[in-house]
Amino acid sequence: MAKKKAKQSKQAKQQSAATPATVAATEAGVEFTTHAYAHDPAAASYGEEAAEALGVSPDQVFKTLVADVDGALTVAVVPVSASLDLKALASAAGGKRAAMADPAAAERTTGYVRGGISPLGQRKRLPTVLDASAGDHATICVSAGRRGLEIELSPKDLATLTDAVTAPIARA
């Protein structure tokens, strides 16, 4: 009886951690791990907060940014330790100009709130560019779809699941 309750409890925890991002990864059959932490709403940087909470290098935790490239929303995935190079993003996405997207448009289009936007499981799948530095790591962490929840997976799996172009779009 105790084993049955423990199994039910584990299933309940897994279901409560389910987000469109984790569902997409599960349905694709890729290996991943989720990491939950207590999010501080006063944190200056969601990504740096995640890296510190997980005890990993900020180079291994990637933030998901939504930009407007020639009128089309595009996702950029870069290390939290770096900034997005908008010119490099525009070039990688086949455009001429890029600017950060309006936060409300990013939230409405992806179905996620700012600070919890995941490159996976978006309401409307957007073109995605993954920074080339992701390939320096066996696994990387990205938002799992809500503040305080990260999904760790191989950069190759992330690129495959998002049909991402890989290019150097980050700058120190």
CA 34 – CA 101 distance, rounded (Å): 27
pLDDT in tens, 126-159: 999 999 999 999 999 999 999 999 999 999 999 9
Share of the chain above pLDDT 70, in %: 90
Alpha-carbon torsion, ordered 35, 38, 40, 45, to 10 deg: -10
pTM: 0.87
